[in-house]
Chains A and B, each alone.
Chain A
Amino acid sequence: MTVAQDPSALTFECETGNYHTFCPISCVAWLYQKIEDSFFLVIGTKTCGYFLQNAMGVMIFAEPRYAMAELEEGDISAQLNDYEELKRLCVQIKRDRNPSVIVWIGTCTTEIIKMDMEGLAPRLEAELGIPIVVARANGLDYAFTQGEDTVLAAMANRCPDKAPESEKEERSGIQKLLNFGRKKEDVEADESDYAKHTPLVLFGSLPDPVVTQLSLELKKQGVKVSGWLPAKRFTELPVLEEGYYVAGVNPFLSRTATTLMRRRKCKLIGAPFPIGPDGTRAWIEKICSVLGIEPKGLEEREQQIWASLEDYLQIVRGKSVFFMGDNLLEVSLARFLIRCGMTVPEIGIPYMDKRYQAAELAFLEKTCNDMGVPLPKIVEKPDNYNQIQRIYDLKPDLVITGMAHANPLEARGINTKWSVEFTFAQIHGFTNARDILELATRPLRRNNNLKDLGWDKLVREEAKV
């Protein structure tokens, strides 16, 4: 446990790591939908398959572009040849689905039996003629959203370093989207909307509408987004030349950021993340300042958004929220909710990269000081059992937690919001600030409706924890 000397600085603690979160292989659920020409092959056991099948719910039935390579006893004891086995499955995938890329997701089992996926992939790639990207998104090393980080870090190495002139237009998927259906002259005229700056590539998987929204926000400032990692298709991965600027949109992408800096020689713009109107404004301002652009109209825009949130703000003001921690969005969400007028006694988080999140942490501190509320305690690798004892003591108005704890806490009269929803809802940019509050206030609004019924505590007194 490290306690910072300065009482007005954030405190960081580390507990036992006995907490509930999703396995990082869950990233295939949103990444296969995002990257339309991909196929994700999870190389693991029945346990992995069972998790995916249940966590994905109905998506399973929509003929997903992902599957399990289920390891059997013969694979574990190396009676079967990994290369031959993987080849057999990948040939079948190629025949049935013909994807532009196969992503192998390594699991705990492949780690323990030390399957050399990085070694096998290039050989099979050459033989099969389909790119094979290897990401080790296992529960031994990572939590939930960090799965995406491992996949994007692997993809960062596949981005072309220079596009041939003729293809340049083809590659910039977002520009094409924005210029959709326009004449060439219009497109050229459009170019004048942008300031001259070093190319900027954003990283982080977001739903397409959010990609469009954030790109438009930057366009208003004259900032051109040259590409996005990941793009809609694997074949449209952005060009990354040495010296390009990159900026992250999500707080869990530290490996990707590191890869972009070290392997691709890009320059990282460290900014708070565009979650909440405050975060979005700070994100844009930081990007503008690095690119040497004077941002305009942002303050009014932020004010407008805050004004439109007033009905929700009235519900949350003065209330407290406790983050148990499972998806790494916690710091950004806490910072936004503090700006909304809430207090946050504890931010649980699976893993805290103080360098990648530096700007966000500074912004959190500033926000607390601005709002005159105490700084939260940040608990890395939390212990859920201890947290529940603290929740009983603190009696927060809202607990943001995983589904394993949500119903039991509700039965004890504690309002909860299921944390995974923040991962799948659209929460980025000015436009979606309302959606975050819609989620955060839902339990408060619902329980407001029921408050006179006297049904707060629905477990017997003697019931144990």
Chain B
Amino acid sequence: MKLAYWMYAGPAHIGTLRIATSFKNVHAIMHAPLGDDYFNVMRSMLERERDFTPVTASVVDRNVLARGSQEKVVDNITRKDAEEKPDLIVLTPTCTSSILQEDLQNFVDRAQLEAKGDVMLADVNHYRVNELQAADRTLLQIVEYYINKARKQGNLPEGKTEKPSVNIIGISTLGFHNQHDCTELKRLMKDLGIEVNEVIPEGASVHNLKNLPRAWFNLVPYREVGLMAASYLEKEFGTPCVNITPMGVVETARCIRKIQQILNRQGADVDYEDFINEQTLYVSQAAWFSRSIDCQNLTGKKAVVFGDSTHAAAMTKILAREMGIHVVWAGTYCKYDAEWFKQEVSEYCEEVLISEDNGQIGDAIARVEPSAIFGTQMERHVGKRLDIPCGVIAAPVHIQNFPIGYKPFLGYEGTNQIADLVYNSFTLGMEDHLLEIFGGHDTKEVIHKGISADSDLGWNREATAELNKIPGFVRGKVKRNTEKFARDRGLNEITLEVMYAAKESVGA
């Protein structure tokens, strides 16, 4: 047992659901107790989804415990198949079903006999993998399933596309700024004259998965999701994979050069050097920003970085290499990927921290006292407590990290966004200090607004105590309204009864 207040990566089934619901017309059925369908709330709230999240639960209750799921799961699958006619139904095990050890594969096989669509069991072990690993795995499973199906039916397309083309692998629902990144990557590919063959899983149809082998190469922008599917495609079809995250000016250039190399090896004869040069020097503002006076002021400032492998590694390199900021430590919660992370960042920071324990991260921040933190929502809250500004660079995130405006982290526009994020975090911190030194913006507290200027009304102790229970941001309003009520009625002491009578009368 582990005492835990907070976790960075979610349970395995969340990863599977993220992949399944990213595809078009794929439905997931969770084998889970009542209340485990919280994923639907997250997707509906965070992504502000207009459509019903295609996830239902086959509810595990007392009866199921006593008799096993028996027909229930099969019925739920065939029912959903008839109601919504999905291309694929993914039966998703949860921690509960892992312990029950029912033969879910058998249910899938039985349901498949009746269902018109395909039915599949997500192959993830709840106690061994987390959300990210499960997502990676489920994507592989679905890709493999449809490649094999096409092979069996003999309709796997032969050969490559005429012009250089790419599959973008790993864009998914509830991923950190994934939608914007996807748009930016497509734009980058267009600028490079590369056709986008398929984007998976977001918005993709399972029928198109058989076209994956036609791409000249695969681009996997995030380390957490997509590598397994990409290496499967490499093994089966020899499709090379570019897994350099194009985040930051230097890494974006490195990614593009790698693409150039891979295309030329297949006889494309492209040269992207001029494009990289043009973008770096004149189009993206990030290189100029790092040269400007603003950024000079950031030289040697202390920062710490924490997040998933992809974003924490890229951010560390940007801060250290492109802005001259002193990264005291960089860390990730992707413990299973620790070796890669250490290798990526060790030359750019003093210390590497691999941990899933938010307490340990919080302590490490307090110990270092950086001028800015780049982390998840958890680190943002640590920053609030310690009065250190924080830029959020990775999941887990809140609704404000699903902006409506265009905010990619990848590609050349991404470099601009990151420059803003970094700069805003640091200046805010500076301003704070200046304010502290000079005694704040305005030392006069605004006490009243309106009629209760010099109150002649007495609040008795109960009423005062009650008033203090009211949340601060409305307390002033309640106080004013109550006093107005009392004054209108010629009362000169405010008691609990007066308070509530006032509330009833004005509806405040």
Contacts from A to B (Cβ < 8 Å): 17-24, 43, 45-47, 49-51, 53-55, 57, 60-61, 64, 67-73, 75-76, 80, 85-86, 88-89, 92-93, 108-109, 111-113, 138-144, 177-178, 180-181, 208-209, 212-213, 216, 304-305, 308, 385, 388, 402-408, 411, 430-431, 434, 438, 458-459, 463-465
List, in ascending order, chain B residues with CB within 8 A of A60's CB.
5-6
Using CB atoms, name the residue of chain B closest to A409. B52
Contact of B3 among A67, A75, A80, A434 (CB under 8 A): A67
Tell me whether A140 and B127 are in contact (CB under 8 A).
Answer: no
Tell me whether A61 and B381 are in contact (CB under 8 A).
Answer: yes
Tell me whether B3 and A92 are in contact (CB under 8 A).
Answer: yes
Tell me whether B466 and A404 are in contact (CB under 8 A).
Answer: no
Tell me whether B51 and A404 are in contact (CB under 8 A).
Answer: no
A4 to B380, CA, bound (A): 57
Given A144-B35, A181-B462: A408 and B52 within 8 A (CB)? yes
Beta-carbon contacts under 8 Å, B72-109 to A: 76, 83-84, 94-96, 99-100
Among the 9-residue stretches B315-323, B413-421, B496-504, the one with 4 or more Cβ atoms under 8 Å from chain A is B496-504
Given A20-B37, A68-B4: A458 and B50 within 8 A (CB)? yes
Task: Describe A's contact surface by its main secondary structure.
Answer: helix
Using CB atoms, name the residue of chain A closest to B85. A464
Chain B 217-235 interface 0/1 with A at a Cβ cutoff of 8 Å (1 = within):
0000000000000000000
List, in ascending order, chain A residues with CB within 8 A of B10's CB.
46, 50
List, in ascending order, chain B residues with CB within 8 A of A19's CB.
34
CB distance from A145 to the nearest CB of B (A): 12
List, in ascending order, chain B residues with CB within 8 A of A18's CB.
56-57, 59, 76
Tell me whether B99 and A434 are in contact (CB under 8 A).
Answer: no
A123 to B96, CA, bound (A): 28
Q: In this assembly, does B405 line the interface, its C-beta being within 8 Å of a C-beta of chain A?
A: no
Contact of B1 among A50, A69, A139, A459 (CB under 8 A): A69
Contact of B35 among A21, A89, A180 (CB under 8 A): A21
Known: A46-B10, A209-B469, A438-B507. 16 other contacts (CB 8 A): A20-B40, A47-B11, A50-B10, A53-B6, A54-B38, A67-B5, A69-B1, A70-B2, A85-B1, A88-B1, A108-B60, A139-B32, A212-B466, A407-B44, A407-B50, A411-B50
CB distance from B13 to the nearest CB of A (A): 7
Tell me whether A431 and B5 are in contact (CB under 8 A).
Answer: no
Q: In this assembly, does B14 line the interface, its C-beta being within 8 Å of a C-beta of chain A?
A: yes
CB distance from B228 to the nearest CB of A (A): 21
List, in ascending order, chain A residues with CB within 8 A of B396's CB.
53
Tell me whether B51 and A69 are in contact (CB under 8 A).
Answer: no
A46 to B38, CA, bound (A): 13
Q: In this assembly, does B126 line the interface, its C-beta being within 8 Å of a C-beta of chain A?
A: yes
Q: In this assembly, does B398 line the interface, its C-beta being within 8 Å of a C-beta of chain A?
A: yes
Q: In this assembly, does B449 line the interface, its C-beta being within 8 Å of a C-beta of chain A?
A: no
Q: In this assembly, does B7 line the interface, its C-beta being within 8 Å of a C-beta of chain A?
A: yes
Q: In this assembly, does B62 line the interface, its C-beta being within 8 Å of a C-beta of chain A?
A: yes
Beta-carbon contacts under 8 Å, B363-406 to A: 378, 381, 384, 396, 398
Tell me whether A57 and B37 are in contact (CB under 8 A).
Answer: no
Interface size class of B (residues with CB under 8 A): 35 or more
- Return the 5 tightest CB-CB contacts between A and B, nearest first: A23-B35, A139-B33, A404-B40, A411-B50, A61-B381
A379 to B29, CA, bound (A): 23
Tell me whether B497 and A431 are in contact (CB under 8 A).
Answer: no
Given A109-B96, A180-B461: A411 and B4 within 8 A (CB)? no
In this complex, which of B7, B52, B461 has the most chain A Cβ atoms within 10 angstroms of its Cβ?
B52
Tell me whether A22 and B35 are in contact (CB under 8 A).
Answer: yes
List, in ascending order, chain A residues with CB within 8 A of B96's CB.
47, 108-109, 112
Tell me whether B128 and A54 are in contact (CB under 8 A).
Answer: no
List, in ascending order, chain B residues with CB within 8 A of A57's CB.
398
Contact of B504 among A43, A54, A407, A431 (CB under 8 A): A431
Chain B 442-481 interface 0/1 with A at a Cβ cutoff of 8 Å (1 = within):
0000000000000000000110011001100000000000
List, in ascending order, chain B residues with CB within 8 A of A458's CB.
50
List, in ascending order, chain B residues with CB within 8 A of A144's CB.
35
A69 to B392, CA, bound (A): 28
A53 to B397, CA, bound (A): 11
Tell me whether B84 and A464 are in contact (CB under 8 A).
Answer: yes
Tell me whether A17 and B61 are in contact (CB under 8 A).
Answer: yes
Given A57-B398, A60-B6, A109-B95: A139 and B462 within 8 A (CB)? no
A368 to B241, CA, bound (A): 67
Tell me whether A406 and B44 are in contact (CB under 8 A).
Answer: yes
List, in ascending order, chain B residues with CB within 8 A of A208's CB.
469
List, in ascending order, chain A residues with CB within 8 A of B5's CB.
60, 64, 67-68
A228 to B41, CA, bound (A): 34
A411 to B52, CA, bound (A): 10
Q: In this assembly, does B293 line the interface, its C-beta being within 8 Å of a C-beta of chain A?
A: no
Chain B 342-366 interface 0/1 with A at a Cβ cutoff of 8 Å (1 = within):
0000000000000000000000000
Tell me whether A216 and B99 are in contact (CB under 8 A).
Answer: no
List, in ascending order, chain A residues with CB within 8 A of B83's CB.
385, 465
Tell me whether A404 and B41 are in contact (CB under 8 A).
Answer: yes
Tell me whether B504 and A305 are in contact (CB under 8 A).
Answer: yes
Q: Could you list 8 A-B pairs, sorted by A, with CB under 8 Å?
A: A18-B59, A22-B38, A46-B126, A67-B4, A73-B128, A209-B470, A403-B44, A411-B50
A404 to B44, CA, bound (A): 6
Q: In this assembly, does B42 line the interface, its C-beta being within 8 Å of a C-beta of chain A?
A: yes
Tell me whether B40 and A141 are in contact (CB under 8 A).
Answer: no
Q: In this assembly, does B45 line the interface, its C-beta being within 8 Å of a C-beta of chain A?
A: yes
